Amino acid sequence: MSDAAHLLAAIRAEGRGRFWVALALLTAGSLSEGASILLVLPVLQLMGDAPAQSIDLAGRSLLGLPLPPVSLGLPAVLAALVALVAAAAACNRAKAVCLSDLMSDFANTLRTGLFSAIARARWEEIARHRAADLELALTAEAERVKAAAILVLTILQNLVMLAVYLALGLLVSVPMTLAILLAGGLALAALTPFRRAAAGYGARLRAAREAQFRSTADFLAGLKTARALDLGPAQAAAYARLLAEAKADAAAYARRSATGAGAFQVALAAGAAAFVLAATGWAGLSTGEVVVLLLLLMRLAPRFLGLQAQVQQLLVDLPAWRRAQALGAALAAAAEASPDPALPALPALTREIRLDRVTCRHAPGLAPALEDCTLRIRAGAITGIVGPSGAGKSTLADILAGLRQPERGLFLVDGRALAAADLPRWRARTAYLPQEAFLLHASVAENLRIVRPGASDADLRAALDQAAAEFVHDLPQGLDTPVGDRGARLSGGERQRIALARAFLRAPDLMILDEATSALDWESQQRVIAALRALAGRSTIVTIAHRPSMVAFAETIHILEAGRIVESGSREELTADPGGRLARMFRAEAEAGAEAGTAPAEPDPPRASAGGG
């Protein structure tokens, strides 16, 4: 149960003083409730066959504390009983409010901690995890951790109340109370196999939920493709199998748990019967003492039974805590270096960006995505990078955008090698547009103002016009039109144009377009190209594609193959030789387009930028 101890320590650290306040309230409430049970004994004496008029408390004690030398009648004793019950209720209410507040803070701290760890982790670490697994950790698994935390506190509460009731029982009869304790302990020990089964079920449940969540995420992410290929029935059948397996496992666990709980209840009933016989025969207790002990037993028995059920459920939920701890530790270990305030500010990009013999791989043991790659990008110019799938283009874009550091080699801006602590500040001055445009489930205006919160509507419209996204003006609510989940209400080309408008609005030092115009028609693409040319000189633009027509407007084109730059030059220089790589790429693209009936038009020739070099 070391995981439970660590979880309790985390709750205590989160709660600080509130944890001890709740524990004090719990103890006070238990003592008040227990004392009210003890008061049943004088009530029975005052109501007996030969009722006494009063009870003299002189020389008596309660819970080891001397009572005042007064005589109490039945009304006074009953009033004291009601007062103790009220005190117990007040303590329990205050405790419930305190623990609810503590549990909310604990769960929120866990979620925000994981959220922040994901946000701060290096991109290489994030790429190792499936997005579905990270989403599961932040949602359903976080709820299971909260449930486990509540169970830890509930178990602690049960243990405190057990201790209080046992202490009260010892005041009435030491032998009988010890017998109750022994019987309860033996029953808990006998149910050890059921707790082991609960721990195993908890691990299987986490794996089952992970599989279900991954299946759901994959299904929703590829819903359009699945619908087009009529994969829905097969996916539904596979999902149903996952659910059926989880159901069968849950049913088997429920049967074992119910068997254990039933056996425990039968044992407690038999123990209660034996207790009455022993109390009236062997121990020779009075009727009043037997009644009080039975009342205590009625409080103790559910505590023992609840303790068994709570420990079992805790063992089911603890794997979520272990997973959250392991994930948080892995992400924290891979946290990106914080900017060093002692370092000089990054200067404005004025000369060049250079990659000097850069090697980068996605994971240890894999072949390098980039190997000994050297590249120069002139500031203010439009630079194109083209190559086949798997050539390393996206990895190159990640490095240029400051998302990852090279394994070997240098990433230099105006001759300064960017250290890990420089990357966040560098990213603040770049705009990275991948092929799949990222849009919030919000309005067009909100999606644009992410990068410039103070931008006016006129600024937004100007950026949309630059990105050939005037269609926004014709939407029912214009700039206030919701785009749907991840832009689902828009076409792929419309999403790309809004993402482009967002980049134009940011006016970055470096703009990287990684297949970012692939969904645009030719006319829209030409308008975007014109806007990029107008922006050149104020921003450095890198456009990356696997089709040469997508980079034909660049002033300098680099051809990337197998992680290396194999050719560089202007379009005219690289196509002068009909047997050159770029010339062959243009011919292959034209032939493929002719076969499909979608041959691209000849792009406008590139022209020099207005400065920046």
151-191 tens-digit pLDDT: 888 888 778 777 777 777 676 667 767 776 777 777 777 77
pLDDT of residue 605: 47
d(CA 145, CA 151): 10
CB under 8 Å, gap of 24 or more: what pairs does 418-423 form?
419/337, 419/343, 420/336, 420/337, 421/337, 421/338, 421/339, 421/340, 421/343, 422/339, 422/343, 422/346, 423/336, 423/337
pLDDT of residue 253: 74
d(CA 318, CA 148): 6
**Higher local confidence (pLDDT), 221 or 566:** 566
pLDDT of residue 421: 83
Q: Which residues pair with 360 in a beta bridge?
A: 370
- Highest mean pLDDT of the ranges 13-27, 86-100, 263-277, 398-412: 398-412
**φ and ψ at 392, to 5 degrees?**
110, 15
Q: How confident is the model at residue 409 (pLDDT cuts 50, 70, 90)?
A: very high
Q: How confident is the model at residue 493 (pLDDT cuts 50, 70, 90)?
A: confident
pLDDT of residue 218: 74
Report residue 542 as tokens: 């890198």
**Average pLDDT estimate for 317-322:** 85
Q: How confident is the model at residue 9 (pLDDT cuts 50, 70, 90)?
A: confident
pLDDT of residue 578: 83
Task: Give Dmax (Cα) for the chain.
Answer: 122
Q: How confident is the model at residue 275 (pLDDT cuts 50, 70, 90)?
A: low
**Average pLDDT estimate for 439-464:** 90
**Higher local confidence (pLDDT), 600 or 349:** 349
d(CA 444, CA 461): 11
Q: How confident is the model at residue 292 (pLDDT cuts 50, 70, 90)?
A: low
Between the two ends of the chain, the Cα-to-Cα distance in Å is: 65
Q: What's the angle, vertex CA 516, arms to CA 514 and CA 518, rounded to 5? A: 115
**Higher local confidence (pLDDT), 459 or 605:** 459
Give the range among 167-176, 376-385, 486-495, 496-505 with minimum mean pLDDT: 167-176
- Give residue-wise pLDDT tens across range 149-158: 888 888 887 7
**Higher local confidence (pLDDT), 300 or 8:** 8
**φ and ψ at 8, to 5 degrees?**
-65, -40
**Average pLDDT estimate for 132-139:** 85
pLDDT(500) > 70? yes
| CATH class of the domain defined by 2-333 | mainly alpha
E-assigned strand segments in 55-149: 55-56, 61-62, 65-66, 71-72
pLDDT of residue 385: 93
**Average pLDDT estimate for 229-239:** 77
Report residue 520 as tokens: 């645009």
pLDDT(610) > 50? no
**Higher local confidence (pLDDT), 477 or 518:** 477
pLDDT of residue 489: 85
**Average pLDDT estimate for 46-68:** 50
Q: How confident is the model at residue 601 (pLDDT cuts 50, 70, 90)?
A: very low
pLDDT(37) > 70? no
Give the range among 278-287, 327-336, 379-388, 414-423 with minimum mean pLDDT: 278-287
Give the range among 23-32, 318-327, 418-427 with minimum mean pLDDT: 23-32
Q: How confident is the model at residue 611 (pLDDT cuts 50, 70, 90)?
A: very low
pLDDT(485) > 60? yes
Please state, rounded to an integer, the average pLDDT across all residues of the chain.
79
Q: Which residues pair with 383 in a beta bridge?
A: 542, 556
Alpha-carbon torsion angle 452, 454, 456, 457, nearest 10: 60
CB 516 within 8 A of CB 592: no
pLDDT(316) > 70? yes
